[in-house]
Amino acid sequence: MKMMARIKEKLKRFSLKKIFPKNKKTPSGTSPSKAGAQDLPSSHQFAAEQAKFSYPQDWGGYRQTSRDLPSGYGTDKIVLCVRDPWWLYTYWEVINATWDRLKRELGDDFYKAKKILRVYDVSHIIFNGTNAHRYFDIELGLDSVNWYIDTAGPGRSWCVDLGLRLADGRFITIVRSNTVSTPLDGPSWITDEEWMIPDDMFARLYGMGFGFGKSSPVGKGWQERFKHVLSSGVSSVTSILKK
Amino acid sequence: MNKGYLSLVLHGHLPYVRHPEHDDFLEEDWLYEAITETYVPLITVFEGLVRDGIDFRLTMTLSPTLTSMLTDGLLQERYLKHINRLIELAHREIERTKYDSRFNILAQRYLDDFKHARYIFEKYNRNLAAAFRSFQDLGKLEIVTCGATHGYFPLMDICRESVRAQVKTAVTHYESVFGRKPRGIWLPECGYQPGHDEILKESGIRYFFTDSHGILHGTPRPKYGVFAPVYCRGSGVAAFGRDLESSKQVWSSIEGYPGDFNYREFYRDIGFDLDFEYIKPYIHPDGVRINTGIKYYRITGSGDHKEPYVSDWAREKAAEQAGNFMFNRQRQAEYLHDFMQRKPLIISPYDAELFGHWWYEGPMWIDFLIRKISCDQDELRLITPSEYLEENPRNQVITPSMSSWGWKGYSEMWLQGSNDWIYRHLHEASNRMTELARTYRNTNGSLKRALNQALRELLLAQSSDWGFILGTGTHTSYAVQRTRDHLLRFTRIYEEIKSNSIDEGWLADIESKDNIFPAIDYRVHQ
């Protein structure tokens, strides 16, 4: 928590004015790249990163591509991403054929239904659609294709269904997302310690223990060499080295 | 006997910008400015240290996109043209300022700097990657790799095949440039997602860096905080956490070193200040004013009034701040040593381009710092992460936390209203690339070329730089175009492969434009 407090304090101290001092305006030029009016980060780190991409304006020298990216790719899909310990981002695509099918199947109910994101807390379980610890619904606008979800749940795992909630309360899943985990926003409560020495480093230490020095062999056959050393009276050598 | 260690880590990266179809392309200046203001001054500092017999250790990323540009013939040719034009401008500046010694002495300095940049550039046969390699071969510099095009890994987690392609392509490229395998990696934007360490392990990478909270919020709790590396549970790859205190001393907008009033003011460039007719031949041919790199003022104060730069004052300040930085690290190491009963490691990573380009005096500060650490004391020693691991192989095993060093510490810089639209397309392209790699296992001829080019286009679209620029909300059109262009090129190749109708003429054209990673192998995207 101390660490978060430090980060927060750092962010509080941020002043755009300081980082992006006013540039002298010249009649035929605009000032170099600066942050916009958004609440963007502080510090020279950000200013320096942005200064890497400094150029005075969108000069339009790059040939514009006439084609646009497609609005969809023709499959039903929902993807869930983690933005930070508290927020998720999801985007989806549901093709017209699927909407048509739902309309056919549900008849009038379709038009009374709400388009919903159902957010499941699936921490530490294999989610089968019914065993979530809890869930909450977000009502969506008809045209929405993405959403930022406030989970307020650091250190948890999440899965999302895009679906329809009918007037009678039934929920119909159209498409289910991948599962993601939000990171902790503070230190872990688990304090068990486990320590490790990588195998190759251990092999080297092992070799040094037999008096081969830092460049002791770690590859194939090294055990054979040690066996050979052991069988040829190495104990007297090591005892000399100890003196 | 030293009490602890300091690892200075400079992250050198620029996105791949190369436009053979234009004679004079503004965004290529990002590279030319960084060569003159950052890479050459750093090489000069390293040369000086070696010449003077100062034993130093520094860790540096040279991202695969950056090394690709530094070794590209066309960009090398264009840099020479660029620096020659600056030399000409500096000559004119000496003439223009001859009646005002305050500026004239600075104009002379710029002329010397530019000539020196050209000298260094030619000394290493125009290949600055080779210059950095020479310091690695001497054992002074440890060069780590990065994601092939600096894709932001946490937002690729849904398609880990792309993370693997970013890592494997980077490793192969690193070997071709530096003649050995990389030991470490700088995860683009320091973006770590648990599990990606397994992919690093597959490529033989021993360690990576995270921001402080990546380690501090790891599970279980790290006994030594960020002052000792940890091994990732499962993979055993080591993670080194950033020390915020030393970062803040340099980066902070309030007490950060680069904001000192004696230092050079970044925003007062003659490209903007001088009469349009005079400066016209040295700005963009379309009449767009640009930073020339010649800046005569010091920061002076918080207001708009600026006084001329005084080199000696800035130099003194850089020396003083290097001393201050070292003093603070000594105290930190001393305290931590008693507390930990082990020699702590302080990891201080910075954007390489901070030094010289943004903070003009930065390379000089590094020079002072290294010399002071080497000659003035014995409490603190410089070390590379691999050397530290050799010396301290026993470390705690944890799962670090998802994190980045970007705004707010996670993914928001690259995932907000202004840039979230790109992921729908990037993820789809990743899925399609996986499909291609699985479908076409052994190929040759134009099909193989098309598959390789498809991966190049996907990787280029994934650069976190585009998302970053979109996130800043200023001058975004180039970033939008690059994202769209690479994705559209990818999609066209995908469709042509699927319909068995590869347009060879067009393929050859984009191969020559997006020519990064000549030895790329599309099969790594699995």
Residue B180, pLDDT score: 97
Instruction: Tell me the mean pLDDT in the region B512-524.
Output: 97
Confidence of residue A59 (pLDDT cuts 50, 70, 90): low
Q: Distance (Å) from the C-alpha of residue B267 to the closest C-alpha of chain A?
A: 6
For residue B285, is pLDDT > 50?
A: yes
Residue B410 and residue B272: Cα distance in Å, rounded?
A: 36
Residue A237 touches partner B, C-beta closer than 8 Å: no
Tokens of B289: 């004013």
Strand-pair partners of A26 = A29
Alpha carbons B498 and B105: distance in angstroms, whole number: 64
Query: Is the pLDDT reported for residue B126 higher than 60?
Result: yes
For every residue of B424-445, DSSP letters joined together read HHHHHHHHHHHHHHHH--S--H
Residue A2's pLDDT is what?
45
Q: Report pLDDT for A226.
A: 60
Q: Is the pLDDT of residue A30 over 80?
A: no
Q: Which secondary-structure segment (H or E) carries A120?
A: strand A114-121
Q: Tell me the pLDDT tens digit for each residue of B406-457.
A: 999 999 999 999 999 999 999 999 999 999 999 999 999 999 999 999 999 9
Task: Please give the pLDDT value at position B324.
Answer: 95
Dist. CA B48–CA B37, nearest whole Å: 17
Residues in B 121-150 with any Cβ partner in A closer than 8 A: none
pLDDT single digits (tens) B169-210:
999 999 999 999 999 999 999 999 999 999 999 999 999 999
Strand partners, A189: none
B30 alpha-carbon distance from chain centroid = 12
CB pair distance less than 8 Å for B288 and A4: no
User: DSSP code of B501?
Assistant: -
pLDDT higher at B473 or A174: A174
SS3 of B350, please?
strand
Backbone phi and psi for residue A180, each to the nearest 5 degrees, phi listed first? -130, 165
Per-residue pLDDT band for A223 (boundaries 50, 70, 90) equals low
**DSSP helix/strand/coil, A3:** helix
Mean pLDDT of B380-389: 97
Q: How many CB atoms lie within 10 A of CB B111?
A: 20
Min mean pLDDT across A15-29, B361-375, B377-391 is at A15-29
Q: What's the CA gap between A243 and A39, in Å, rounded? A: 67
pLDDT digits (tens, 9 = 90+) for A124-145: 999 999 999 999 999 999 899 9
Residues of B in contact with A24 (CB under 8 A): 267-268, 272-273, 304
pLDDT of residue A40: 53
A24 CB within 8 Å of a chain B CB: yes
Spell out which residues of chain A touch residue B473, defining contact as CB-CB under 8 Å: 35-38, 40
Contacts of B109 (CB under 8 A, 6+ apart): B311
- Helix ranges restricted to H, B463-503: 464-472, 477-498
Q: Is the sign of the CA dihedral A167, A172, A175, A177 positive or negative?
A: positive
pLDDT of residue B475: 83
Cross-chain CB nearest to A184 (options B217, B253, B266) = B217
Query: Which residue would you say has higher pLDDT here, B159 or B474?
Result: B159
Select the more confidently predicted residue: B138 or A54.
B138
Identify whether the C-beta of residue B414 lies closer than 8 Å to the C-beta of residue B467: yes
Answer for the pair A164, A172: CB distance below 8 angstroms, yes or no: yes
pLDDT the model gives residue A242: 33
Q: How far is A184 from chain B (nearest CA, A)?
A: 6
Tell me the residue type at B10.
Answer: L
Q: Give chain B's radius of gyration (CA, Å).
A: 23
Which residue of B21, B291, B415 is in closest CB contact with A54? Answer: B291
User: Is residue B1 pLDDT above 70, yes or no?
Assistant: yes
Residues of chain B with Cβ-Cβ distance to A11 below 8 Å are 408
Indicate if the pLDDT at residue A232 is higher than 80. no
Q: Which pLDDT score, from 0 to 100, does residue B256 have?
A: 86
One-letter amino acid for residue B225 of the chain: G
Provide the total of helices (H) and of strands (E) in chain A, helices listed first.
Answer: 8, 9
CB B152 within 8 A of CB B419: no
**Distance between CA atoms of A104 and A188, rounded to whole angstroms?**
50
Residue closest to B266 by CA, chosen among A74, A31, A169, A133: A31
Interatomic CA distance for residues B499 and A191, integer angstroms = 57
What are the structure tokens assigned to B484, written together?
Answer: 């769209």
User: How does pLDDT run across B47-86, given as a tens digit for each residue?
Assistant: 999 999 999 999 999 999 999 999 999 999 999 999 999 9
**Quick check: B423 and A56 CB within 8 A?**
no
DSSP assignment of A190-229 equals -----EE--HHHHHHHHHHHTT--TT---STTHHHHHHHH
What are the Cα distances from residue B477, in Å, to A62, A64, B481, B483, B489?
Answer: 9, 9, 6, 10, 18
A and B: number of Cβ contacts within 8 A: 273
| pLDDT value for B456 | 98
Count of Cβ atoms closer than 10 Å to residue A110 Cβ:
15
Q: How confident is the model at residue B279 (pLDDT cuts 50, 70, 90)?
A: very high
pLDDT above 70 (res A206): yes
- Mapping DSSP onto H, E and C, the string for A32-70 reads CCCCCCCCCCCHHHHHHHHHHCCCCCCCCCCCCCCCCCC
User: What are phi and psi for residue B61, nearest 5 degrees?
Assistant: -90, 135
Q: State pLDDT tens for residues A177-204.
A: 999 999 999 999 999 889 999 888 777 7
pLDDT of residue A16: 31
> Running DSSP on this structure, what letter comes out for residue B35?
I
The H or E element spanning position B33 is helix B29-34
What share of chain A in percent tops pLDDT 90?
51
Backbone angles phi, psi at B450, to 5 degrees: -65, -40
Q: What is the mean pLDDT of residues B312-328?
A: 97
Q: For residue range B333-372, what is the model confidence (pLDDT) as tens digits?
A: 999 999 898 999 999 999 999 999 999 999 999 999 999 9
CA distances from A25 to A22, A29, A31, B273 (A): 9, 7, 6, 8
Q: Residue ranges of the alpha helices (H) in B97-233?
A: 101-123, 128-137, 160-178, 196-202, 212-216
Phi, psi of B208 (to 5 degrees): -145, 175
- Among chain B residues, the shortest Cα distance to A63 is held by B481
Closest residue of B to A34, CA-based? B474
Mean pLDDT for all residues in chain B: 96
Maximum Cα interatomic distance, chain B, rounded to a whole number of Å? 72
Could you report the per-residue pLDDT of B155-164, keeping only the tens digit for each? 999 999 999 9
Closest CA to A60 of B27, B515, B293, B281: B27
Reported as a single tens digit per residue, the pLDDT across B22-43 is 998 999 999 999 999 999 999 9
pLDDT for the residue A209: 72
Beta strands (DSSP E) in B259-390 are 345-351, 380-382
The residue written with tokens 């200040």 in the block is: B273
Six-digit token string for B170? 């980077």
Q: Do B415 and A89 touch (CB under 8 A)?
A: yes
Quick one: pLDDT at residue B136? 98
Across-strand partners of B301?
Answer: none
| Global model pTM greater than 0.95 | no
* Predicted local distance difference test score (pLDDT) of residue A227: 65
User: Taking CA B257 as the corner, what is the angle to CA B256 and CA B259, rounded to the nearest 5 degrees?
Assistant: 80
DSSP state for residue B457 in the 8-state scheme: H
A contacts of B205 (beta carbons < 8 Å) = none
- Indicate if the pLDDT at residue B213 is higher than 60: yes
What is the radius of gyration, based on Cα positions, of chain A? 30
B168 token code pair: 């494997």
Q: What pLDDT score does B198 carry?
A: 98
**B324 sits in which H/E element:** helix B311-340
Residue A114, pLDDT above cutoff 80: yes
Mean pLDDT of B271-297: 93
CB B169 within 8 A of CB B459: yes
What is the crossing angle of helices B445-462 and B477-498, to 10°? 150
pLDDT score recorded for residue A22:
34
3-state class (DSSP) for residue B378: coil
Phi and psi at A121, nearest 5°, equal: -90, 110
Give me the phi and psi of B399, to 5 degrees please. Answer: -105, 110
pLDDT band at A57 (very low <50, low <70, confident <90, very high): low
* A144-173: pLDDT as tens digits: 999 999 998 899 999 999 999 999 999 999
Mean pLDDT over residues B449-476, rounded? Answer: 95
Give the per-residue pLDDT at A203.
78
Structure-model confidence comparison of residues A227 and A202, the more confident one: A202
B contact residues 292-321, partner A, Cβ 8 Å cutoff: 299, 302, 304
- Confirm if B363 and B47 have CB atoms less than 8 A apart: no
Residues in B 422-481 with any Cβ partner in A closer than 8 A: 423-425, 427-428, 465, 468-469, 471-478, 481
In B, which residues are within 8 Å of A59 by CB distance? 26, 284, 286, 288
Question: Which of these, B40, B414, B288, lies nearest to A62 by C-alpha position?
Answer: B288
Q: What is the pLDDT of residue B249?
A: 87
Q: What is the pLDDT of residue A199?
A: 83
Cβ of A183 within 8 Å of Cβ of B424? The answer is: no
pLDDT of B311 reads: 97
Chain A residues with CB under 8 Å of B27 CB are 53, 55, 62
* pLDDT exceeds cutoff 50 at A32: no
Instruction: Give the phi and the psi of residue B244 in degrees, each rounded to 5.
Output: -70, -35
